[in-house]
Amino acid sequence: MQTAIIIIGFILVGLALLFFVARARMKNIPLVADHEKILMLTDKNFNHQTKNKIVLVDFWAGWCAPCRMMAPVLNELAGELTGNFYVGKVDIEKYQVLAQQYNIRSIPTMVLFKNGKEMNRFVGIKNKEFLMKQINNIR
């Protein structure tokens, strides 16, 4: 019985250490500069920038590690999109009204707009191929 308690204790300590190491690594994910084609959306320009085009809007925050992980994917996607297709970003810390307006409950959340209307939404980390397929389905 005592041996089982010791083993369970070691397992719990190991899991706790693993959790803290993983959390520290996630916090150290660097901020990536945005691609020049990414639309920086605000509460003032949002409607104008999403009108008459297809825009994948990333709702994100600087403190969000999964959001930081999505940045390179969104940069690649923005660089490959042509025509009337764009990637936009909304910092939910700065533009909380937009996050509330679009009912953003967790981040990263990406919302696909066509002519200013929400067509689809995706929560969590997604790869470029998945996002490109979703954009192509809207065409």
Over residues 39-83, the pLDDT tens digits come to 999 999 999 999 999 999 999 999 999 999 999 999 999 999 999
Catalytic residue selected from 64, 77, 104, 110: 64
Share of the chain above pLDDT 70, in %: 93
Q: Kindly state the average pLDDT of the residues 122-129.
A: 96
64 among known catalytic residues:
yes
Structure-block tokens of residue 127: 């790869």
CB 116 within 8 Å of CB 47? yes
Task: Give Cα separations from 72 to 30, 36, 38, 68, 136 (angstroms).
Answer: 11, 13, 12, 8, 20
- The pLDDT of residue 40 is 96
Residue 124 φ then ψ, to 5°: 100, -175
Q: What is the pLDDT of residues 76-106, one digit of tens each?
A: 999 999 999 999 999 999 999 999 999 999 9
Mean pLDDT of all residues belonging to the chain: 91
Catalytic residue selected from 39, 41, 55, 67: 67
Computed on alpha carbons and rounded to an integer, the radius of gyration of the chain in Å comes to 19
22 among known catalytic residues:
no
Q: pLDDT at residue 26 above 70?
A: no
Q: Cite the beta strand spans of the chain per DSSP E.
A: 39-40, 54-60, 85-91, 109-114, 117-123
Q: Kindly state the average pLDDT of the residues 4-15.
A: 86
- The pLDDT of residue 27 is 59
- The pLDDT of residue 92 is 97
- The pLDDT of residue 28 is 62
